[in-house]
């Protein structure tokens, strides 16, 4: 079984908070971005590699590749999965990736979305994905950085 420390939803994927605060807090040595677009975009990968912490490896896989390959991870790999949205996390869970907990970080405001927490905006599709994740036994938490308190996840469903 892969050693998944945490899965985070952050539409910025790898950036300052993920690289400096979350990675060191978790002790992750592998940052796995599960995102179909980024998996095929070497320029974005390069930019994220610059933000990644020293000593941590990065991987950029499609959702399908993540599902197919995560079971082959070595025990020494302390994996921090980063996804752009809850729908991608749901696909991973439904595909058999053993995700137990999801940290909800940044979900930017956009047309059709409503702000429900400090840095979290959702639409009906996001809410449906979060509900399904909960039904599948996945623990949800809203927390921007490890040094700040967690917000009430019931906000997601208002």
Q: What is the pLDDT of residues 50-75, one digit of tens each?
A: 999 988 999 999 999 999 999 999 99
Q: How does residue 4 score in pLDDT terms, banded at 50, 70 and 90?
A: very high
What is the model's pTM?
0.96
Q: Which residues are catalytic?
A: 15
Question: What pairing do the DSSP bridges indicate for beta strands 114-117 and 120-122?
Answer: antiparallel
CATH architecture observed for domain 2-154: 3-Layer(aba) Sandwich (3.40)
What does the H/E/C string look like for the chain? CCEEEEEEECCCCCCHHHHHHHHHHHCCCEEEEECHHHHCCHHHHHHHHHHCCCCCEEEEECHHHHHHHHHHCCCCCEEEEEECCHHHHHHHHHCCCCCCEEEECCECCCCCCEEEECCEEECHHHHHHHHHHHHCCCEEEECCCCCCCCECHHHHHC
Domain ranges of the chain: 2-154
Q: Which of 86, 91, 136, 81 is nearest to 116 (CA)?
A: 86
Q: Computed over its alpha carbons, how large is the radius of gyration of the chain? A: 15
pLDDT digits (tens, 9 = 90+) for 88-119: 999 999 999 999 999 999 999 999 999 999 89
């Amino acid at each position: 079984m892969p050693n998944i420390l945490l899965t985070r939803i952050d539409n910025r994927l790898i950036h300052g908070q993920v690289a400096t605060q979350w990675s060191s807090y978790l002790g992750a040595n592998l940052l796995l971005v599960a995102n179909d677009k980024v998996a095929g975009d070497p320029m974005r990968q390069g930019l994220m590699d610059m933000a990644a912490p020293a000593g941590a490896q990065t991987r950029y896989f499609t959702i399908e590749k993540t599902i197919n390959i995560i079971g082959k991870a070595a025990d020494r790999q302390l994996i921090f999965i980063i996804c752009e949205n809850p729908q991608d996390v749901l696909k991973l869970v439904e595909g058999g990736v053993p995700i137990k907990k999801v940290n909800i970080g940044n979900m930017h405001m956009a047309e059709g979305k409503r702000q429900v927490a400090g840095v979290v905006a959702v639409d009906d599709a996001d809410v449906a994905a979060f509900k399904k994740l909960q039904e599948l036994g996945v623990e949800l938490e809203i927390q921007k950085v490890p040094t700040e308190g967690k917000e009430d996840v019931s906000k997601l469903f208002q």
